[in-house]
Amino acid sequence: MNLTEMITAVRNNLNAEGITEMFSDANITEWLNAGLSAVASRIPPQTMPDLQQVATGTAASVALPADYFRGVALLLATRKVPLILPTDGGYDPGETDFWAEHFGLLWGNTITFYPVGSVAYTLYYLSAPADMSAGSPDPEIPDMFHYAVVCYATFLGASKDKRLRTQYLELFHELVGAGGGNNERP
């Protein structure tokens, strides 16, 4: 599906349920772009090879690249280690019984490597998918997830209809898999 087809699908979903409000193409495109980000944060990284990036260097910490969207893997001295997010339970680096000998702690826009000290690192990550617009109408995710983007946009557009919101949010989760991604809304 391209942007025009997605806008039409969102309008059809809303109209089929009796939502007669007139939404501009710009409103629906905004919802679709939010859906694109929601889908990209949940589906397996290997399904989006065009978004995969690599950053390397040697440091005790590293600022995230400007195009960083989602971490895929972190290697310290050629060994894969966990990349811990603030949502992973508020890990305190001072704890001595932590299960990983080495790891990267993501806080804000910086990954700090533990134990503290300069180390060679390789960060594999996904860049953010480009927003869809008239000039770039095709989403940078696999075709099989395009309708999930439409469901998310319909979820946002049905703000006054709780039943419809619930229906499209459940369908969204079914299409992308409820357990993946990084706990981002919804």
pLDDT in tens, 132-182: 987 777 898 999 999 999 999 999 999 888 999 999 999 999 999 854 444
Q: Residue 10 and residue 34: Cα distance in Å, rounded? A: 13
Q: What is the pLDDT at residue 32?
A: 96
Q: Residue 100 and residue 103: Cα distance in Å, rounded? A: 6
Q: What is the dihedral of CA 61, 66, 68, 73, to 10 degrees?
A: -30
In the three-class reduction of DSSP (H, G, I as helix; E, B as strand; rest coil), residue 172 is classed as helix
Please write the tens of the pLDDT for every residue from 113-126.
888 778 888 999 99
Q: Spell out the domain ranges in the chain.
A: 3-46+129-176, 49-127
- The model's pTM is 0.79
The beta-strand segments (E) located in 9-168 are: 52-59, 61-63, 68-76, 79-81, 83-84, 103-107, 110-114, 119-127
With 80 as the cut, is the pLDDT of residue 54 above it?
yes
